[in-house]
Structure 1
Amino acid sequence: MPDDERHETETEKLDRKWGDLLQELRVMQTGAQLTAGFLLTLPFQTEFASLDTYQRTLYLVLVVVAAVTTLLVMSAVAVHRRLSGEHVKERVVTTAHRLTMAVLTAIAVLVTGMVALIFDVVVDRTVALAFAGVIAGTAALLLVVLPNVVLANGASGSADA
């Protein structure tokens, strides 16, 4: 249902959008935390010492991406906490929306990098790069193309389709 058919006040619409963003951020936060937790256990495995320079560098880049992802999720909450009661909910929602898009991007990079690292360690670099490319392409299709296709088909489609 388009926003203009909901018969909401602007405040109600912003409250709904903020609630939706919070739910999305909760899901992404869990994924980011599990991924970061996985990455943080790797140096304590005996096989970690056998990683080559490329693998160690990729691992460290992934740790940084996981940390940045966590900070991006937290920043939406920090913005809300700081601006709560300041009568700027539209700015809070817009900022949280942008942060959510950044989190989606960071998680896609993180997942792609993890696939590259795991395949590089388990198989070889060529296979790792190929599968990382497949995952990156899949992420682009699911996170960018699919929402745009759904939006484009929204005017002609129905909820029953």
Structure 2
Amino acid sequence: MKLSEDVKLALDDVRALMLGTQILFGFQFQLPFQTAFAQLSAQERHLEFIVLLLILVTIALLIAPGSFHRITEHGNASDRMLEIANLCSTLMLPIFCIALAIDLYVAFKYAIGFKSAAGVFAFTALLAMAAAIAPWLRGKTKMSDRHATEVPPLAKRIEFVLTEARIILPGAQALLGFQLIIIFSESFAKLLYSEKMIHGTALGLIASSTLLLMAPAAVHRIAYNSQENPRFVTYASGLLSAATLFLAVGIAVEVRFIGNLLLDSATPALLASLASAILLIGIWHVWPMVLRFGQGKAR
């Protein structure tokens, strides 16, 4: 059971990081609708757009281990699953720290002044460098071509799939709340109808994702009476795959909406939206499927 416990610990670590990251992501959604937004310079708005993209990459890396575990490893515990979780965490932490440093710089510059903002940015940037360097001091993480695999008991596989849903759900709910608040702001009422429809589309997609993420626990409790059943694992895995697909497209559409407000230009926002969709769908669905196909051919 050693591998299964290690995988559970890795998923719990991701769960601890997810909500805070997605709340910061939600703040980026809210920023263009704050009163002080009009006082930000074009440079500061562009910096906030960079933060939006950096946090998006962070979220992509946080959800990736669960997608790999579910799609490639079929819910089994493996050394390679742990290596991918460690690799994603190693890449994620400095990216998040850089995003936080830029966010703090803009906030402190607005509230206190440039000197304080520069000091906070320098300190947080040093933390980002430390986060980037520290994991590599103990040895480089690499992918194994051949790896140990442990087939956990059915109860553990059910626990895994429910944990993966719980990892994403709070953050998706937070994003949904931020999106709903936007609708009732004065700035939103002044937008063009087409822009409102783009936001409404993103809202609907993330709401759908949230419902799909809530479904496995409810189905397990009501339809399966909380009993162990292998069909539930397959059913819940399908719901999670659909949920992450809706979430990926919803986030990409919202990047188009927020990007246009931050950059005041539709073309870069559209390109960033397309790139976001490719990244999220690629890392959550295509990459695990490619690894699964390659693993099948190796056997």
TM-score with structure 2 length normalisation? 0.46
Shift in alpha-carbon separation, 1:6–1:144, aligned structure 2, 3 A: closer
Q: Take 1:69 and 1:5, find their aligned partners in 2: how far apart are those partners? A: 31
CA contact (8 A) 2:216 2:236 kept: yes
Paired residue for 1:82?
A: 222
Counting aligned pairs with the same residue, the percent is 27
SS at match of 2:238: helix
SS at match of 2:209: helix
Task: Give the one of 159, 165, 183 matched to 1:19.
Answer: 159
- Pairwise CA distance, 1:149: 4.3
Letter in 2 for 1:130: L
Shift in alpha-carbon separation, 1:7–1:81, aligned structure 2, 3 A: closer
Does 2:276 match 1:135? yes
Paired residue for 1:159?
A: none
Which runs of 5 or more structure 2 residues have no equivalent in the other structure? 4-72, 77-147
Moved more, 78-87 or 57-66: 78-87
Aligned length: 152
Task: Give the one of 231, 234, 237 matched to 1:91.
Answer: 231
Q: Take 2:202 and 2:289, find their aligned partners in 1: how far apart are those partners? A: 28
CA contact (8 A) 1:32 1:70 kept: yes
Q: Take 2:230 and 2:295, find their aligned partners in 1: how far apart are those partners? A: 27
Which runs of 5 or more structure 1 residues have no equivalent in the other structure? 157-161
Shift in alpha-carbon separation, 1:155–1:59, aligned structure 2, 3 A: same
Shift in alpha-carbon separation, 1:145–1:86, aligned structure 2, 3 A: closer
- Pairwise CA distance, 1:121: 2.1
CA contact (8 A) 1:55 1:120 kept: no
Q: Take 2:193 and 2:226, find their aligned partners in 1: how far apart are those partners? A: 50
Could you report, residue by residue, the CA deviation over 1:78-115 in whole angstroms, capped at 9, with x for unpaired residues?
21112334866112111101000011101101110110
- Pairwise CA distance, 1:148: 3.2
Q: CA RMSD in A?
A: 2.6
Could you report, residue by residue, the CA deviation over 1:52-84 in whole angstroms, capped at 9, with x for unpaired residues?
111100111122112211211121122111233
Which residues in structure 2 correspond to 1:53-92 (within 5 Å)? Answer: 53-85=193-225, 89-92=229-232
Moved more, 38-47 or 101-110: 38-47
Shift in alpha-carbon separation, 1:5–1:71, aligned structure 2, 3 A: closer
Paired residue for 2:249?
A: 109
SS at match of 1:76: helix
Shift in alpha-carbon separation, 1:43–1:23, aligned structure 2, 3 A: same
Q: Take 2:244 and 2:289, find their aligned partners in 1: how far apart are those partners? A: 15
Paired residue for 2:33?
A: none
Q: Take 2:297 and 2:173, find their aligned partners in 1: how far apart are those partners? A: 37
Shift in alpha-carbon separation, 1:86–1:29, aligned structure 2, 3 A: closer
SS at match of 1:84: coil
SS at match of 1:51: coil
